[in-house]
Amino acid sequence: MKTRKGYLVKRGKTYYAMWTVRGKKFQQSTGCTVEGKARTKLAEIMQPHLIENEKRHLETVKTWIESANKDLVVLNEQKDPPLTIGGTWSEFKASQNRPRTGKATFAKYEIQWSRFHTWLEKQHPDVKALRDITPEIAEKFAAHLISTKRSSGTFNKYMNVLSLIFRTVSEKAKLTTNPWANPQKDGHGKGIRRMEKEIHGRRELTLAELQDVCAKSDGDLRLMLAIGIYTGLRLGDAATLRWCEVDLVRGIIIRIPNKTGRKNPEPVKIPIHPTLRAMLEESPKNDRVDFVLPRIAADYRRHSSYVTDRIQALFKKCKIETTRKIEGRHQSQVEVGFHSLRHSFVSMCSENKVPLAIVQGMVGHTNPAMTRHYDHAEHDADKFAAVALLPSMSKEPKALPPAPAPRLIDADAVLSIFEGANAKNLKSKLAELHVLVEKTTKSGTP
């Protein structure tokens, strides 16, 4: 206690303050002859030394705690090591917290992660744990994507997917920050800023280009293009069209679009153009199970690029420029692709004076009220007539004769059959209905 708080020694009539620091003795006169006053003075003299001593003590405790924490981290990591780069994808795939995307979208995620992983192994082979990916490394990869002339949309998709993966496995990886976060969205300056999207779209193909593409295509790709031209379906819907969605008897395709199906599971109803119908009927009846285009559907479900690459190669074979330079940048963007057929379908309908509402009903739109208004049976005849006006893609195009109006069963006739129906006569009533359907199919009138 004497070494910390000091003590008093009386010499003559005066009291002296005495204390020891690290083995060295110190003394100082209190200037007091009264012991009480001398003790007060001793406390004043010792105060700075006590504070300094307490500071050193706390620093020592802090060092002990930091050392203990480091030892604890080492022990915990030996027991539960942080997530490695190589194990990240498996952890993300197995996580219950990741979004439940479609197979095609998830396959894109895997390819984007694999490309980043490959780049990382080449540029930073010493980085083994996911948490060792610093903001500086993230910025270098972002610069790499820009240098490879990726479009703004592709660049943003990479950043968003990597941010999603890091966010999903953050606990397992023991992450403290997400170097791929979007500062514009998250409201802070950390992370990778997304690129501004260029306002552009696929251009429609001219009639001559459509004819040339169709003439130089064959096999399943020929039918795939015909589906795109005569239905306006998007790539994913055309590639994965199923026979159960194709009604050759009624001459109509009924499909819930992939893009809008989750939020609005309303199907689009598209009359089958005579040219497309003839091509579909080339398929043997015994083969009309599951997908209309089995090979293309399998390729698309693995990764959509397997299909788009074939289509783009065909366009290039027809000497159609599929990309164009972005003004002021060393980048190109896709201008012609399968989606161009959708634009062509809408354009040809417009040129043939097909009402916009009917076109919207066939290609699928985001206005539910408009869909309900124009998607009733009484407008089916208008749809059939509209699609029949589309030109053939033969070398000598000409307008095709109007398609037959849909053969609708008279509602009053159906109600008449089932009037008085009960459990005993239901079988006979159904037989009568079957006869009515057969008669309508053959004659076009009930």
Structure tokens at 437: 């359907």
Cα–Cα distance for residue pair 103/302, rounded to 1 Å: 8
Band (pLDDT 50/70/90 cuts) for residue 400 is very low
In CATH, what number is assigned to the domain containing residue 317? 1.10.443.10
Among the three residues 23, 44, 79, which one is the final residue of a domain in this structure?
A: 79
Q: Is 8 exposed, middle or buried (0-12, 13-18, 19+ CB in 10 A)?
A: middle
In CATH, what number is assigned to the domain containing residue 180? 1.10.150
pLDDT of residue 34: 92
Q: What is the pLDDT of residues 53-95, one digit of tens each?
A: 788 878 888 888 887 777 666 666 556 678 899 999 999 999 9
Band (pLDDT 50/70/90 cuts) for residue 327 is low
For residue 162, pLDDT beyond 90: yes
Band (pLDDT 50/70/90 cuts) for residue 387 is confident
Low-confidence winner among 137-141, 268-272, 385-389 (lowest mean pLDDT): 385-389
pLDDT of residue 161: 94
pLDDT of residue 371: 35
Cα–Cα distance for residue pair 181/189, rounded to 1 Å: 10
Three-state secondary structure readout of the chain: CHHHHCEEEEECCEEEEEEEECCEEEEEEEEECCHHHHHHHHHHHHHHHHHHHHHHHHHHHHHHHHHHHHHHHHHHHHHCCCCECCCHHHHHHHCCCCCCCCHHHHHHHHHHHHHHHHHHHHHCCCCCEHHHCCHHHHHHHHHHHHHCCCCHHHHHHHHHHHHHHHHHCHHHHCCCCCCCCCHHHHCCCCCCCCCCCCCCCCCCCCHHHHHHHHHCCCHHHHHHHHHHHHHCCCHHHHHCCEHHHEECCCCEEEECCHHHHCCCCCCEEEECCHHHHHHHCCCCHHHCCCECCHHHHHHHHHCCHHHHHHHHHHHHHCCCCCEEECCCCCCEEECCCCHHHHHHHHHHHHHCCCCHHHHHHHHCCCCHHHHHHHCCHHHHHHHHHHHHCCCCCCCCCCCCCCCCCCCCCCHHHHHHHHCCCCCCCHHHHHHHHHHHHHHHHHHCCC
Neighbouring C-alpha atoms within 13 Å toward the C-beta of 388: 15
Does residue 96 sit in the same domain as residue 71? no
For residue 31, pLDDT beyond 80: yes
Number of domains in the chain: 4
Does residue 153 sit in the same domain as residue 285? no
Cα–Cα distance for residue pair 373/267, rounded to 1 Å: 14
> Domain limits at 324?
207-388
Residue 191 located in a structural domain: no
User: Measured at the alpha carbon of residue 403, what is the angle toward residues 399 and 409, in degrees to the nearest 5?
Assistant: 170
Q: Which residues touch 251 (CB under 8 Å, ≥6 apart)?
A: 271, 272, 277, 384, 403, 404, 406
Does residue 172 sit in the same domain as residue 310? no
Instruction: Name the more confident of 334 and 31.
Output: 31
For residue 4, pLDDT beyond 90: no
Q: Which of 66, 81, 96 is nearest to 131 (CA)?
A: 81
Does residue 75 sit in the same domain as residue 92? no
Cα–Cα distance for residue pair 248/403, rounded to 1 Å: 13
β-pairing, 323-325 vs 332-334, is antiparallel
Does residue 21 sit in the same domain as residue 163? no
Greatest distance between any 2 Cα atoms in the chain: 138
Structure tokens at 271: 């009359």
Does residue 297 sit in the same domain as residue 158? no
Residue 404 located in a structural domain: no
Does residue 153 sit in the same domain as residue 296? no
Cα–Cα distance for residue pair 433/411, rounded to 1 Å: 11
Residue 236 located in a structural domain: yes
Low-confidence winner among 39-43, 63-67, 221-225, 295-299 (lowest mean pLDDT): 63-67
Does residue 142 sit in the same domain as residue 97? yes
pLDDT of residue 372: 41
Radius of gyration of the chain from its Cα atoms, rounded to whole angstroms: 39
Residue 52 located in a structural domain: yes
Does residue 26 sit in the same domain as residue 73? yes
Q: Which of 254, 241, 228, 209 is nearest to 339 (CA)?
A: 228
pLDDT of residue 401: 42
Q: Are 127 and 137 spatial neighbours (Cβ–Cβ below 8 Å)?
A: yes
The amino acid at residue 433 is: L
Q: What is the pLDDT of residues 138-158, one digit of tens each?
A: 999 999 998 887 777 888 999
Does residue 93 sit in the same domain as residue 71? no
